[in-house]
């Protein structure tokens, strides 16, 4: 059984213990089986995933309405993280909001997400895949396909490991729900629950249902009018590209040259 309580270390320990090197080596069902966890798909109301424990064994339940395997992979990895890291929990249920909100308050969700990210996308392997590559949605799509994860998961991994200053913004129902950015991203103040700026790529997507196939230049002042640094760099521009994750959810990525 995995001994480490550090999410990243626990994921590395698990991969080493089963000899998992390439993404194609194992399915998440097989990884779960190695831990005494069975997986079933059931109709669930209000939840995407749930882990229940019985001693050293467990059952992961996945919402049968989810049809994208890469999303299922992250949910399973997330629940495995709960199983290994949070043994005091007999039952843990995760709604779509807790799984999509990387920055949910409370350490257990963040730990399970960190574990899942490292289990599915080992940092050294991820760095190798993106090294020297220009940031783009195409790059993130290629990486997500290779590691069999969602594009959002790959974007967030890129934030901490990528070569470009970058910010990922998640919007729902026309407002900013959360953001994540690299430490060197030049502007960082973006109020939660603020409306999507109309003169941005995300604005075109939300207000006009128009999605650009290539990155577009966007004035920084459109996204960050309240950041104190903007008065010194009023002409600063980013690259922006976005995509829809649901009928009411949009992810936008901003990066510099």
Residue-wise pLDDT for 33-65, tens only, equals 999 999 999 888 777 888 888 888 999 999 888
241 and 142: one domain? yes
The whole domain housing 169 covers 124-255
Higher pLDDT, 208 or 96: 208
186: its two tokens: 């030049």
Report the C-alpha dihedral over residues 123, 125, 128, 133, rounded to 10 degrees.
Answer: -70
201 and 235: one domain? yes
Residue 50 Cα distances to 5, 39, 95, 155, angstroms: 20, 10, 9, 25
211: its two tokens: 């999605």
Using alpha carbons, select from 169, 165, 180 the residue that is nearest to residue 238. 165
Q: Is the whole-model pTM more than 0.75?
A: yes
Q: pLDDT for 124-167, tens place per residue? A: 999 999 998 888 888 999 999 999 998 888 988 999 899 889 99
Q: Establish if 1 belongs to a structural domain.
A: no
140 and 221: one domain? yes
Choosing from 74, 89, 120, the residue where a domain stops is 120
Q: Establish if 145 belongs to a structural domain.
A: yes
Task: Write down the pLDDT at residue 218.
Answer: 97
Complete edge-to-edge strand list for the sheet that includes strand 57-63: 37-42, 57-63, 49-54, 91-94
- What's the CATH number where 90 sits? 1.10.10
Task: Write down the pLDDT at residue 89.
Answer: 66
């Amino acid at each position: 059984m995995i001994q480490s309580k550090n999410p990243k270390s626990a994921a590395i320990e698990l991969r080493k213990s089963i000899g998992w090197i390439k993404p194609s080596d194992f399915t998440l069902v097989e990884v779960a089986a190695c831990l005494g966890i069975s997986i079933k798909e059931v109709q669930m109301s209000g939840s995407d995933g749930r882990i229940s424990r019985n001693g050293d064994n467990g059952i992961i339940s996945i919402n049968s309405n989810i049809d994208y395997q890469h999303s299922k992979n992250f949910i399973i990895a997330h629940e495995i993280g709960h199983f290994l890291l949070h043994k005091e929990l007999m039952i843990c249920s995760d709604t779509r909001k807790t799984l999509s909100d990387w920055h949910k308050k409370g350490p257990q969700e963040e730990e399970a997400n960190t574990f899942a990210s490292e289990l599915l996308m080992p940092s050294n392997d991820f760095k190798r895949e993106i090294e020297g590559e220009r940031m783009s949605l195409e790059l993130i799509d290629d990486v997500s396909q290779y590691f069999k994860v969602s594009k959002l998961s790959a974007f967030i991994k890129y934030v901490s490991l990528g070569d470009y200053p970058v910010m990922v913004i998640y919007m729902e129902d026309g407002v900013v729900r959360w953001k994540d950015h690299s430490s060197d991203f030049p502007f960082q103040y973006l109020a939660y629950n603020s409306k999507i700026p109309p003169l941005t790529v995300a604005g075109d997507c939300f207000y006009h249902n128009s999605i650009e196939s290539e990155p577009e230049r966007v004035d920084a002042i459109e996204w960050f009018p309240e950041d104190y640094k903007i008065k010194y760099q009023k002409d600063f521009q980013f690259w922006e590209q976005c995509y829809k994750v649901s009928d009411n959810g949009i992810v936008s990525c901003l990066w510099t040259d």
